[in-house]
Amino acid sequence: MVGSAQIGQITPAAWSPRRKRNVGLSVIERGYQPTGQAVLVHRVAGILRPGALSNLPFDWVVT
């Protein structure tokens, strides 16, 4: 989410032991695709986590 707008959906996601963070692929609406765009990720049970958009291969933007 950006603000109160849902901008996409994460498809596969997993813990990266190498990067020590969760990584995932997602489908994002046009207009919200700049690298580094801050987002909120809704997890199971309503938990919100901060995140950032990255290009492939992952840029590893630190949030």
Q: What pLDDT is attached to residue 61?
A: 56
Containing 21, the helix (H) or strand (E) segment is strand 21-28
Q: How far apart are CA 15 and CA 49, in angstroms?
A: 14
**Whether the predicted model's global pTM rises above the 0.75 cut:** no
Checking phi first, is residue 20 left (phi over 0); if not, alpha (psi -120 to 50) or beta?
left
Task: Name which of 60, 54, 50 is nearest 26 in CA terms.
Answer: 54
pLDDT mean by block of 10 residues, the chain; 63 residues: 85 87 86 84 86 77 54
Q: What pLDDT is attached to residue 22?
A: 85
Question: Can you say how many angstroms the Cα of residue 11 is from the centroid of all Cα atoms in its chain?
Answer: 10
